[in-house]
Amino acid sequence: MLLGNHRCLPGIYIKGGIVDPKRMLTKGGFKAGDNLILTKALGTGIINNALKGGMLDAETEMEVAQSMATLNKRASESALEASVHACTDVTGFGLAVHLLEMIRESKDIGIEVDFSSLPLFPRVEELAFRSNQNWGIVKGTTKDIR
């Protein structure tokens, strides 16, 4: 099976390749009792919009950039060894949309999330709160937040 390119940032693409269908994990297949495991922190969308608006410190920028550049090779190998039923990459649509897609592609399943246990990048809550006050970062514009 040929896997296509995936756009991660404007002008930056991850190259596709050949995938063995027997080792491929899809969004469908969630089963009752499955646990959700996140291999990276959440909040890259908010962080990237803060970066575009000149509101991000260098330390947070570097931490998020390193995470985004880290391949999921070890995580995918571990998932295959553990017989994971379903898998997705949480990208620009965020966790909620990816979970909704997983639920839709699985049979008769729902999901419960303990939001206090979700790993977030530094400053995500602060930036989301500031954004919520005037709809800046979350909606993609940072002009009025500073």
pLDDT of 77-104, one tens digit each? Answer: 888 898 888 888 887 678 888 899 899 9
pLDDT of 110-140, one tens digit each? Answer: 889 998 999 999 999 888 887 666 545 555 4
The contacts found for 80-83 with CB under 8 angstroms, 24 or more apart, are 80/23, 80/25
Q: How far is CA 141 from CA 19, 24, 112, in A?
A: 38, 37, 31
Residue 78, classed as helix, strand or coil, is: helix
Residue 121, classed as helix, strand or coil, is: coil
Which is nearest to 122 in space by CA: 56, 72, 78? 56
Contacts of 68 (CB under 8 A, 6+ apart): 8, 44
pLDDT over threshold 60, residue 141:
no
pLDDT of residue 10: 45
pLDDT over threshold 90, residue 17:
no
pLDDT of 75-84, one tens digit each? Answer: 888 888 988 8
Burial 12-38 (b: 16+ CB within 10 A, else e): eeeeeeeeeeeeeeebbbbeeeeeeee
Whole-angstrom Cα distance, residue 38 to residue 35? Answer: 10
Whole-angstrom Cα distance, residue 117 to residue 119? Answer: 6
Mean pLDDT, to the nearest integer, of 47-58? 87
Q: Which residue has the higher pLDDT, 131 or 7?
A: 131
pLDDT of residue 57: 92
- In single-letter form, the type of residue at position 87 comes to C
Which domains occur in the chain, in start order? Answer: 25-134 (3.90.650.10)
Contact 27, 101 (CB under 8 A): yes
